[in-house]
Amino acid sequence: MGKTILVVDDAAFMRMMIKDILTKNGYEVIAEAGDGQEAIEKYKEHKPDLVTLDITMPEMDGITCLKKIREFDPNAKIIMVSAMGQQAMVIDAIQAGAKDFIVKPFQTDRVLEAIKKTIG
């Protein structure tokens, strides 16, 4: 069975794009979430091998969500997803425990490289 991944982004289109890249390459998207609070609930429910987590979301941003998931599971493997120009937030995320980050618009090779590097 492929590695399980939780895809978190407030934009359904972005979730669909990531999901498409992942499923075509043998990963299983076990759940999706549209905001940070939902992401925490889905994480606890499914315990995925990896989370792709958007930084900018309504309700709860990605950095807060990252910290809360890591409080629940210090070994959580999380890759942040950011738009161009969010370098400061990416640095905050890495300091808070994110394993890597991918920049929108996605490049398939970069997405897969980040995931392979993080969960093999």
pLDDT at residue 86, as a whole number: 72
Q: What is the CA radius of gyration of the chain?
A: 12
pLDDT at 7 over 80: yes
pTM above 0.75, yes or no: yes
Domains belonging to the chain, first-starting first, are 4-79+89-119 (3.40.50.2300)
Q: What tens digit of pLDDT does each residue of 15-69 get? A: 999 999 999 999 999 999 999 999 999 999 999 999 999 999 988 999 999 999 9
CB 8 within 8 A of CB 32: yes
pLDDT at residue 82, as a whole number: 87
pLDDT at residue 1, as a whole number: 58
Three-state DSSP class for 36? helix
Q: How far is CA 25 from the centre of its chain?
A: 16
Taking the C-alpha atoms of residue 60 and residue 57, their distance in angstroms, rounded to an integer, is: 6
**Largest CA-CA distance found in the chain, in angstroms, rounded:** 37
Q: What tens digit of pLDDT does each residue of 58-117 get? A: 889 999 999 999 999 999 999 999 887 778 888 999 999 999 999 988 899 999 999 999
